[in-house]
Chain A
Amino acid sequence: MGDGVEGNASGRIEFPMSDFLRAEFHVHTVLSPCADIEMIPPLIVEEALRKKIHILAITDHNHTANIEAVQKAAKDTPLKILPGMELQTSEEVHVLCLFDELDQALAFQKIVDAHLPNIENNIEYFGEQFVVDETGDFIRREERLLLTSTTLTLHQAWEEVQALEGLFIPAHVNRQAFGLIPILGMIPLDTPIEIVEISRHLPVEKAAMLFPQIQNLPLIQSGDAHFLEDILGWNYLSIPEISLKDISEAIKSLCPQKHQIIPD
């Protein structure tokens, strides 16, 4: 996984904006039925390092079973894997739920499990849902269909993520399918959403014009990676430490010295 990646004394990778870390907050693994078979831990880590990404969140649909394998694959590299999940709420809205520690994500999983309908995955229609180890080897199939709505409402999900001190970021809010704005029309008043994700196809400068509902909200932009090439790392962060607190403060600051979205 060498090419062009050089760690310095502090373990940080050198790249043009030397104080900034590249981050990608929305990556699926082979556990998500719609993700490509190449989305296995060693290849995800290799691709991220190749693109000089420092922070990468694993966000499978309604599940967390492959996070630890990716964390193990990233061990002893400069890449920090954030545990996460792309939750589907009862309103059919997708939300990135990010955590600092694996234990928090696993605690959230228990809540989600209790709210996930027991529908068997139809592999032919939806695709395989593989749990794998850090080398990408098969461990088991997840039998329950993950690409479906939980019975958690957006507000309930927000409360649960708050209680676990996670970060709650509605995903691709501009998208017709599973995006908050098309589905709910506007940011709900009862849920203090602080950051939203826009999809890679919506230029940041057009977001506020096309979607005035989000014009005052801090944005992130992600690849929603189902293929290796979708791992973008367009979020650049200047933060004291890699923690959710510092990440969210930098994004919410709306300050270009702390967070910028720079498409390749």
Chain B
Amino acid sequence: MNLTLGEIAKALNLELLTQSKDWEEIRPSAGYTSDMLSCVMAGAPHRGIWITLQAHMNIIAVAALLELSAVIITEGAQPEPSTIEKANEKGVILFSTKEGSFEVAGRLWEMGLRAMPPEE
């Protein structure tokens, strides 16, 4: 997958909530969406991009655990400042958008991202 976070953020007009170096060049392996963190832990692909409206602090732990490339928080849900701080500390990239998860997933699919990482 050649798609970068920079291209995704630009195309979907995502707001970057965290500070990290060289985030634009990161290439997510696949896409995933769920709002139940136990399911995410079991099902999200390694280095994938995760779409959720859950803004609770625990999303950072889950994203760090699975080494997700980024989290897109949908429907304008706002994480607490302490959550963003935690994300910066753990190197987790957070985006926010007013769009719903369905819209975001659809746009990413159109751009070529799939549920599973492409075969090497």
Which residue on chain A has the smallest CB distance to residue B60?
Answer: A189
Whether A91 pairs with B56 at a CB distance below 8 angstroms is yes
Whether A186 pairs with B58 at a CB distance below 8 angstroms is yes
Q: Which of A11-63 contact B (CB under 8 A)?
A: none
A153-B80, A185-B41 known; A91+B54 contact, CB < 8 A: yes
CA distance A5 to B62 in the complex (A): 51
Whether A188 pairs with B41 at a CB distance below 8 angstroms is no
Per-position 1/0 for A179-196, Cβ under 8 A of B: 001111110111000000
Whether A185 pairs with B58 at a CB distance below 8 angstroms is yes
Q: Which of A90-144 contact B (CB under 8 A)?
A: 91-92
CA distance A12 to B82 in the complex (A): 49
Which chain B positions have C-beta within 8 A of A155?
57, 80
CA distance A189 to B36 in the complex (A): 18
Q: Is A81 an interface residue (CB 8 A)?
A: no
Shortest beta-carbon distance from B93 to chain A in Å? 19
Q: How many residues of B contact A (CB 8 A)?
A: 15
Shortest beta-carbon distance from B42 to chain A in Å? 10
Q: How many residues of A contact B (CB 8 A)?
A: 15
Which chain B positions have C-beta within 8 A of A181?
38
Q: Is A228 an interface residue (CB 8 A)?
A: no
A186-B61, A190-B82 known; A153+B56 contact, CB < 8 A: yes
Whether A185 pairs with B37 at a CB distance below 8 angstroms is yes
Which residue on chain B has the smallest CB distance to residue A154?
Answer: B56
CA distance A149 to B80 in the complex (A): 18
Which chain B positions have C-beta within 8 A of A185?
37-38, 40-41, 58, 61-62
Per-position 1/0 for B29-41, Cβ under 8 A of A: 0000001111111
Which chain A positions have C-beta within 8 A of B61?
185-186, 189
A155-B80, A183-B38, A185-B41 known; A190+B62 contact, CB < 8 A: no
CA distance A185 to B62 in the complex (A): 8
Which chain A positions have C-beta within 8 A of B36?
176, 182-183
Which chain B positions have C-beta within 8 A of A188?
56-58
Which chain B positions have C-beta within 8 A of A92?
35
Which residue on chain A has the smallest CB distance to residue B65?
Answer: A185
Which chain B positions have C-beta within 8 A of A186?
37, 58, 61
CA distance A176 to B39 in the complex (A): 10
CA distance A153 to B56 in the complex (A): 8
Whether A190 pairs with B38 at a CB distance below 8 angstroms is no
CA distance A181 to B35 in the complex (A): 12
From B39, B54, B57, A190 is in contact (CB under 8 Å) with B57
Which chain A positions have C-beta within 8 A of B80?
153, 155
Shortest beta-carbon distance from B73 to chain A in Å? 13
Q: Which of A139-172 contact B (CB under 8 A)?
A: 153-155
Which chain A positions have C-beta within 8 A of B40?
185
CA distance A146 to B38 in the complex (A): 26
Interface residues of A (CB under 8 A from B): 91-92, 153-155, 176, 181-186, 188-190
The 9 closest A-B pairs by CB, nearest first: A185-B37, A182-B38, A184-B58, A91-B56, A185-B38, A184-B37, A185-B58, A182-B36, A188-B58
Query: What would be 22 A-B contacts, judged by CB atoms less than 8 Å apart?
Result: A92-B35, A153-B80, A176-B36, A181-B38, A182-B36, A182-B37, A182-B38, A183-B35, A183-B37, A184-B37, A184-B56, A184-B58, A185-B38, A185-B40, A185-B61, A185-B62, A186-B37, A188-B57, A189-B57, A189-B61, A190-B57, A190-B82
